[in-house]
């Protein structure tokens, strides 16, 4: 039997871990609220820019070069507006379980990360099974799972560029599955064993908390699903997540 002093120190360590995680969650929630406010503020001027530029383009006699410039202003403003609406949607915290389309949710996250992929020279390839049934799930949690795995893949291809491949398919009785693979540097075997551990990170201080995959695995397992990873230096890394269509119904 474990000596009481050792058990006490285990319990104290777990409590400290939980408190740190709570503090982190609180900070992120606060940040979410602040950014939702900023995004809201950005939307009004963006709408003004979009409608004003469209009015200018409808005017007669505007030189072609000006029309071209205004149309660029308009399309960039529309892109920003699309992004800010996505952010608002993403930071909303409605914990509602509903019928969710996995392919559409993947597209939503990939659009959201379009710029992050492009600036790293990453090309996205998709292979969706369009016959998949919807899954009963909290869409925000699914987005969180996808975001964590895809951001890691993009970060792995930071300097090299590469291909991010996403694939959806049916998986056995009452389950759907998605694969997210990259052709980054891969994960060495001694690291692979630890990637789901809380606070495990190979990133520089301030660049990674080491909570992403820990949270992802907990979310997937709470939903009754499972997550697997394969990785090699030659082929890169592939995460495979299986989720039940009707968990807890
Ligand atoms: N696709 C990948 N290719 C290479 N290494 C990866 C990949 N995905 C995860 N890893 C490794 O797993 C580690 C843990 O990932 P995790 O998402 O938990 O934390 P993180 O990305 O370091 O920080 P954050 O909490 O900000 O997400 C990473 O630091 C990285 O070493
Ligand atoms: Mg991460």
- 96-134 burial by CB neighbour count: b if 16+ within 10 A, else e? eeeebbbbebbebbbebbeeebeebebeeeeebeeebee
Report the C-alpha gap between 198 and 209 in whole angstroms: 9
pLDDT of residue 114: 86
Sequence length of the chain is 249
Containing H/E element for 162? strand 162-170
pTM as predicted: 0.72
Alpha carbon of 156 to ligand 2 centroid (Å) = 10
Q: DSSP letter for 94, please.
A: -
Please enumerate in sequence order all residues whose Cβ is within 8 A of that of 150, keeping only pairs 6 or more positions apart, or say none.
109, 110, 113, 164, 166, 180
pLDDT of residue 174: 92
Whether residue 9 has its Cβ less than 6 Å from ligand 1: no
pLDDT of residue 115: 84
Alpha carbon of 30 to ligand 2 centroid (Å) = 20
pLDDT of residue 240: 98
Whether residue 237 has its Cβ less than 6 Å from ligand 1: yes
Q: Are 84 and 39 in contact (CB under 8 A)?
A: yes
Whether residue 208 has its Cβ less than 6 Å from ligand 1: yes
Q: Give SS3 for 16.
A: helix
pLDDT of residue 190: 94
Indicate which ligand has the atom closest to the C-alpha of 208: 1
Report the C-alpha gap between 237 and 21 in whole angstroms: 27
Q: Give SS3 for 138.
A: strand
Report the C-alpha gap between 143 and 163 in whole angstroms: 21
Report the C-alpha gap between 104 and 221 in whole angstroms: 22
Alpha carbon of 204 to ligand 2 centroid (Å) = 12
Report the C-alpha gap between 85 and 112 in whole angstroms: 10
Q: Are 217 and 167 in contact (CB under 8 A)?
A: no
Ligand 1 pocket: which of 122, 182, 193, 213 to mutate (most atoms <8 Å of CB)?
213
Ligand 1 pocket: which of 188, 197, 208, 238 to mutate (most atoms <8 Å of CB)?
208
pLDDT of residue 8: 62
Q: Are 231 and 186 in contact (CB under 8 A)?
A: yes
Residue nearest to atom 26 of ligand 1 (CA): 208
Alpha carbon of 46 to ligand 1 centroid (Å) = 35
Beta-strand pair 122-127/162-170? parallel
Alpha carbon of 207 to ligand 2 centroid (Å) = 9
Please enumerate in sequence order all residues whose Cβ is within 8 A of that of 133, keeping only pairs 6 or more positions apart, or say none.
176, 245
Please enumerate in sequence order all residues whose Cβ is within 8 A of that of 171, keeping only pairs 6 or more positions apart, or say none.
177, 242
pLDDT along the chain (249 residues), means of 10: 62 70 70 72 85 90 92 86 70 74 94 88 97 92 90 94 97 93 96 93 82 88 94 95 84
What domains sit in the chain, N to C, each tagged with a CATH number? 4-91 (1.10.287), 97-244 (3.30.565.10)
Q: DSSP letter for 201, please.
A: -
Report the C-alpha gap between 87 and 129 in whole angstroms: 27
């Amino acid at each position: 039997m474990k000596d009481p002093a050792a058990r006490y120190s285990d319990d104290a360590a777990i409590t400290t871990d939980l408190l740190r995680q709570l503090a982190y969650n609180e900070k992120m929630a606060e940040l979410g609220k602040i950014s939702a406010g900023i995004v809201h503020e950005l939307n009004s001027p963006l709408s003004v820019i979009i409608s004003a530029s469209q009015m200018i383009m409808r005017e007669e006699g505007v030189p072609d070069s000006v029309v071209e410039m205004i149309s660029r202003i308009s399309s960039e403003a529309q892109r920003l507006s699309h992004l800010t609406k996505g952010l608002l949607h993403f930071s909303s915290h409605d914990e509602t379980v509903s019928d969710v389309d996995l392919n559409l949710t993947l597209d939503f996250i990939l659009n959201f990360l379009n710029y992050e992929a492009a600036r790293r020279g990453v090309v996205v390839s998709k292979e969706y099974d369009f016959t998949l049934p919807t899954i009963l799930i909290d869409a925000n949690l699914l987005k969180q799972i996808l975001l964590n795995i895809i951001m890691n893949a993009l970060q792995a291809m930071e300097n090299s560029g590469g291909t991010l491949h996403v694939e959806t398919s049916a998986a056995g009785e009452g389950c759907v599955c998605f694969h997210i693979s990259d052709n980054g540097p891969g994960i060495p075997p001694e690291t692979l064993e630890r990637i789901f551990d809380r606070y495990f990170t190979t990133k520089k201080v301030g660049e990674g908390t080491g909570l992403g995959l820990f949270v992802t695995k907990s979310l997937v397992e709470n939903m009754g699903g499972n997550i697997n990873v394969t990785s090699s230096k030659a082929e890169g890394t592939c995460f495979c997540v299986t989720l039940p269509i009707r968990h807890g119904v």
